[in-house]
Amino acid sequence: MPAPADPQSARPAAPDGILVVDKPEGWTSHDVVARARRLCGTRKVGHAGTLDPMATGVLVLGVGRATRLLTFLVGADKEYVATVRLGQATVTDDRWGAEAGGEAELVSAEGAGGVDRDAVVRAAAGLTGEILQRPSAVSAIKVKGERAYRLVRAGEDVELPARPVTVSRFDVGEVRPARAGDTPVLDVDVTVTVSSGTYVRALARDLGSALGCGGHLTALRRTRVGGFTLGHSHPLAELEARAGEPMPVVPLAEAARASLEVRRLTADEARRVGFGQRIPSDPPGRPGPVAALAPDGSLVAVLDESGPTTRALAVLTPSTS
> 249: number of CA atoms within 13 Å, CB side?
25
What are the C-alpha distances in Å from 130 to residues 81, 141, 163? 20, 21, 10
Residue 241, Ramachandran bin (φ over 0: left; ψ between -120 and 50: alpha; else beta): alpha
Task: Say which DSSP state 265 is in.
Answer: P
Angle in degrees, CA 35, 55, 146, rounded to 5:
80
> Which residue in 52, 94, 187, 206 is the catalytic one?
52
Examine the residue annotation and report whether 187 is marked as an active-site residue of this protein: no
Reduced to 3 states (helix: H, G, I; strand: E, B; else coil), residue 129 is: strand
Distance CA 207, CA 83 (A): 12
Would you give the end-to-end CA distance of the chain in angstroms?
Answer: 47
Residue type at position 118: D
| Cβ-based burial of 34 (10 A; exposed 0-12, middle 13-18, buried ≥19) | middle
Distance CA 142, CA 151 (A): 10
Distance CA 131, CA 124 (A): 12
Residue type at position 289: P
What are the C-alpha distances in Å from 237 to residues 16, 178, 231, 278? 22, 34, 16, 45
Picking from 191, 187, 209, 211, the residue whose alpha carbon sits closest to that of residue 200 is 191
Distance CA 186, CA 205 (A): 14
Catalytic annotation, residues: 52
